[in-house]
């Protein structure tokens, strides 16, 4: 770390030494001139100017050798011209001007890079590790997976891990940009790089330092810091027009008047510091600002390209959707809570991707879980075990319907039969047959109905058997992120005219997601090479740069070939993050339109500096050509223009933010509302399950089920919706300054209340012996309608809730 500071200091000294040298020469020369020592004054002014000129000439030669045409040649001609025509004071003023501009650029670059370099400087070097009952301090590189660490208050979490003993209060602002501390409960994952802002806590390492989140971000930052911004070449492109123009005006003034000082005055005011400074400072300021928000940009080129682009392609799973399965409903003949509770108890022993979703759903419904015994898992098929003396089988339809462990062999080889994969990723989930020669089995009607519904809805099925009998199915899906619709709308407001999904999922699933969030097109069933071809096809349409957004290994080739690749997440050295030009280190899609806004503002400010600076210089050149601006006055005028351009470029560090919606105490309110939605989820799922199964129930059983649903609507659902409509939504409307969003929610509330009344009346009119065949169609219509509108309504509410922030500082527990 000391070496890094020393190299940074040396670099800054090499950049700023001309400023004190030229200032000393200017002051000494003025003093000598006032004292009548004209020869000393000329030497004091000429010598530093010559040194600056030689240094500038070397930089020009170096750029030319690198095939980079710069605009510094005008400044060099101005210094040389001033010395040749006997104007050493003008030469030293130009040298001071250049040195001042360079020093200001170094300051601005340092300020703009502050957030990037701070990430590098705060990386932990040592950790506190338990060796038995003893605590030792060791280098962070020596940590291995499974080590138990102690993180003390104020320390940076050194590696990825899970909280062990007690809740950890963390400041995650360095990674997420959010200033509010968060609490991680025992068993929750913690990313390295966050700060312990509460008491000490124990952490079980789940990755080495090199493979942890923070190390990956640091590598990305270092790569971003080394990148030369192609946006700087934007200034050089303008310079290719500006240099001949300035030389032409200077030459014309000299030829017209025969006075070389006219030409020198033109060159002095034409010195292109606005071109040299405006673009890099504005772009690097934008990069720095993005880093504060958890957006790592690998150089100015991607930032400028994102600002110009109008076409964006998205992967689906993990990008537009959460990438984590969620329980949608519990279907089948068994009691939903019993089926879920027993399945979740067994799944506690499974490491499968769906197991955690099932366990989380059971805990969300406050079901009691027991530890399983005699657990045996068949990869690709399911898991078997004993819970409270009952034999439980959870997995594919074939696996769960088998009567003994001996019959699971073929099930285990199933290609995708009921595979416990993310929603929509399997092609034949819950199939009644396995791959190869496995004999088909006959499954109950309710399973076949679920399979058909799964094909339409894009859901996954996990079947549950209790004591040898199929008792139910757990329906899971990969939900759309709550912030996704809002992010897509923000991208459209930012100027993106074509937004397309490119996914490996089947078309039915992809179309559902695309229609829900309003995309312009869907390319489904695409393999990684097909995604690359999709990017190339969009680029061939000449609609401007193409941006690709993804998160997985299969997205890396498309991210690499796109004009700008944007990766969601930066854990370790994933191929997606390495291939991408921009990495969003926060698991929120709404940071994407924020990155676009930052890019557009930075580019706009850079162009403002270039165009305004050039415009002022052109006006000054014309005035100087007519003799109205002397050489020395022109040099001072150009200095003023330089400072104005630099200050303007630094505006890219802030401003242009979208005003957040704030409500004091919203964190607790939102948690209560989300918990209420989770508690209602089982009853809402029951609406569709009942509608699906009405024709299979005896009339008296159907009547009892309908009365139970009517009770749920009357006693649980409607009071919740009425409370939201009466208290929460008016508060939200006041916070937003408009009731536009809440009026839409009020409209859906009205329809929910209407359908609930219709259902209540229909049930009240049924005879005591239950519904007949003529009653079922209308009952199904109302149940399906209620289920659909409630699912949509809750999604709309959660999207709105996610856009509100709590300005109240959280209470941070004192250190133990």
Alpha carbon of residue 364 to chain centroid: 27
Beta strands in 634-760 (DSSP E): 661-662
* Burial class of residue 737 in the structure, from the number of CB atoms within 10 Å of its CB (0-12 exposed, 13-18 middle, 19+ buried): exposed
Q: Which of 168, 18, 153 is nearest to 94 (CA)?
A: 18
* Burial class of residue 247 in the structure, from the number of CB atoms within 10 Å of its CB (0-12 exposed, 13-18 middle, 19+ buried): middle
Residue with tokens 């009344």: 757
The SS3 assignment for 195 reads strand
Cα–Cα distance for residue pair 492/499, rounded to 1 Å:
9
Q: Which residues pair with 190 in a beta bridge?
A: 161
Residues 6 or more apart in contact with residue 740 via CB below 8 angstroms = none
Three-state SS annotation for 689-704: HHHHHHHHCCHHHHHH
Torsion of CA 697, 703, 707, 708, to 10 degrees: -30
Residues 6 or more apart in contact with residue 375 via CB below 8 angstroms = 346, 349, 350, 383, 384, 385
Cα–Cα distance for residue pair 719/713, rounded to 1 Å:
9
Residue with tokens 């003993």: 165
Residue with tokens 């169609």: 777
CA 259, 262, 265, 270 torsion: positive or negative? negative
Contact 475, 461 (CB under 8 A): yes
Q: Which of 570, 693, 678 is nearest to 297 (CA)?
A: 570
The SS3 assignment for 548 reads strand
- Annotation marks residue 657 as catalytic: no
380: left (phi over 0), alpha (psi -120 to 50) or beta: left
Contact 434, 414 (CB under 8 A): yes
Q: Angle at Cα 158 formed by Cα 157 and Cα 160, nearest 5°? A: 85
HSE of 329 in the Cβ direction (CA atoms, 13 Å)?
18
Cα–Cα distance for residue pair 787/453, rounded to 1 Å:
14
Beta strands in 250-357 (DSSP E): 295-297, 311-314, 326-331
Cα–Cα distance for residue pair 609/619, rounded to 1 Å:
15
Residue with tokens 């009517």: 710
Contact 92, 29 (CB under 8 A): yes
Enclosing H/E stretch for 18: helix 18-34
Cα–Cα distance for residue pair 464/332, rounded to 1 Å:
9
Cα–Cα distance for residue pair 672/806, rounded to 1 Å:
14
Q: Catalytic: which of 147, 160, 236, 315? A: 315
- State the pairing for strand pair 311-314/498-502: parallel
Contact 240, 591 (CB under 8 A): no
Q: Which of 562, 509, 590, 517 is nearest to 317 (CA)?
A: 509
- The token pair that represents 481 in the structure block: 């992120």
CB-CB neighbours of 543 under 10 Å: 13
SS3 content of the chain, % helix, strand, coil (to 5): 60, 15, 30
- State the pairing for strand pair 521-523/498-502: parallel
HSE of 619 in the Cβ direction (CA atoms, 13 Å)?
8
Q: Which residues are catalytic?
A: 315
């Amino acid at each position: 770390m000391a070496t890094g500071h020393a190299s940074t200091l040396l670099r800054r000294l090499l950049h700023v030494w001309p400023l004190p040298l030229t200032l000393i020469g200017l002051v000494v020369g003025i003093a000598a001139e006032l004292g009548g020592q004209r020869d000393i004054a000329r030497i004091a002014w000429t010598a530093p100017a010559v040194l600056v000129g030689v240094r500038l000439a070397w930089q020009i030669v170096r750029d030319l050798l690198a095939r980079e045409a710069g605009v510094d040649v005008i400044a060099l001609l101005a210094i040389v011209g001033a010395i040749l025509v006997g104007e050493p004071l003008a030469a030293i003023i130009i040298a001071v001007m250049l040195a001042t501009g360079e020093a200001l650029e170094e300051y601005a670059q340092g300020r703009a890079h502050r957030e990037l370099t701070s990430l590098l400087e705060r990386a932990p070097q040592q950790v506190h590790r338990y060796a038995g009952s003893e605590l030792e301090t060791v280098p962070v590189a020596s940590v291995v997976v499974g080590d138990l660490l102690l993180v003390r208050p104020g320390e940076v979490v050194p590696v990825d891990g899970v909280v062990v003993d007690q809740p950890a209060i963390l400041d995650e602002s360095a990674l997420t940009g959010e200033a509010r501390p968060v609490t991680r409960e025992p068993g929750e994952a913690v990313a390295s790089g966050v700060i312990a802002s509460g008491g000490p806590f124990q952490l079980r390492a789940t990755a080495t330092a090199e493979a942890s989140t923070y190390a990956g971000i640091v590598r990305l930052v270092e790569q971003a810091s080394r990148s030369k911004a192609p946006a700087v070449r934007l200034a050089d492109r303008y310079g290719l027009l500006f240099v001949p123009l300035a030389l032409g005006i200077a030459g014309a003034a000299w030829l017209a008047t025969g006075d070389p000082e006219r030409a020198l005055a033109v060159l002095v005011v034409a010195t292109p510091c606005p071109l040299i400074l405006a673009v890099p400072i504005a772009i690097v300021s934008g990069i720095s600002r993005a880093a504060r928000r958890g957006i790592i940009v690998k150089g100015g080129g991607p930032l400028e390209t994102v600002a110009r682009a109008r076409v964006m392609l998205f992967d689906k799973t993990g990008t537009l959707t959460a990438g984590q399965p969620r329980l949608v409903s519990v279907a089948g003949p068994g009691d939903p809570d019993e089926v879920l509770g027993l399945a979740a108890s067994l799944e506690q022993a499974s490491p499968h991707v769906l197991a955690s979703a099932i366990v989380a759903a059971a805990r969300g419904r406050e079901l009691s879980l027991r530890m399983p015994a005699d657990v045996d898992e068949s990869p690709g098929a399911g898991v078997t075990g004993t819970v409270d003396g009952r034999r439980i089988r959870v997995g594919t339809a074939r696996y769960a319907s088998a009567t003994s462990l001996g019959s699971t062999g073929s099930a285990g080889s199933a290609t995708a039969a009921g595979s416990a994969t993310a929603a929509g990723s399997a092609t034949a989930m819950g199939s009644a047959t396995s791959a190869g020669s496995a004999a088909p089995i006959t499954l109950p009607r309710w399973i076949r109905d679920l399979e058909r519904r799964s094909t339409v809805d894009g859901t996954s099925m996990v079947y549950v058997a209790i004591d040898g009998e199929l008792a139910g199915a757990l329906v899971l899906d990969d939900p759309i992120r709550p912030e996704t619709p809002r992010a897509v709308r923000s991208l459209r407001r930012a100027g993106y005219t074509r937004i397309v999904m490119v996914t490996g999922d089947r078309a039915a699933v992809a179309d559902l997601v695309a229609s829900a969030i309003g995309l312009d097109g869907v390319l489904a069933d695409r393999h990684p090479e097909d995604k690359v071809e999709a990017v190339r096809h969009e680029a061939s349409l000449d609609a401007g740069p193409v941006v690709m957004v993804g998160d997985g290994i299969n997205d890396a080739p498309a991210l690499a070939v796109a004009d700008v690749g944007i990766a969601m997440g930066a854990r370790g050295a994933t191929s997606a993050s390495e291939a991408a030009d921009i990495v969003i280190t926060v698991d929120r899609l709404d940071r994407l339109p924020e990155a676009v806004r930052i890019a557009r503002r930075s580019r706009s400010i850079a162009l403002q500096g270039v165009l305004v600076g050039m415009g002022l210089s052109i006006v000054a050149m014309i005035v100087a050509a007519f003799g109205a601006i002397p050489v020395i006055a022109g040099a001072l005028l150009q200095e003023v223009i330089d400072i104005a351009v630099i200050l303007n470029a630094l505006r890219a560090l802030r401003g242009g933010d979208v005003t957040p919606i704030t409500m004091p105490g919203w964190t607790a309110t939102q948690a209560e509302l989300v918990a209420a939605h989770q508690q209602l989820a089982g009853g809402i799922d029951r609406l569709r399950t009942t509608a699906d199964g009405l024709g299979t129930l005896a009339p008296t059983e159907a009547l009892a089920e309908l009365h139970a649903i009517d009770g749920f609507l009357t006693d649980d659902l409607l009071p919740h919706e009425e409370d939201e409509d009466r208290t929460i939504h008016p508060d939200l409307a006041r916070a937003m300054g408009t009731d536009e969003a809440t009026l839409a929610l009020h409209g859906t509330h009205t329809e929910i209340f209407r359908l609930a009344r219709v259902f209540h009346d229909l049930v009240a009119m049924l005879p005591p012996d239950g519904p007949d065949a003529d009653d079922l169609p209308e009952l199904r219509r109302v149940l399906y309608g209620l289920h659909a509108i409630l699912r949509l309504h809750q999604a709309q509410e959660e999207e709105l809730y996610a856009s509100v922030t709590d300005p109240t500082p959280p209470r941070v527990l004192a250190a133990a």
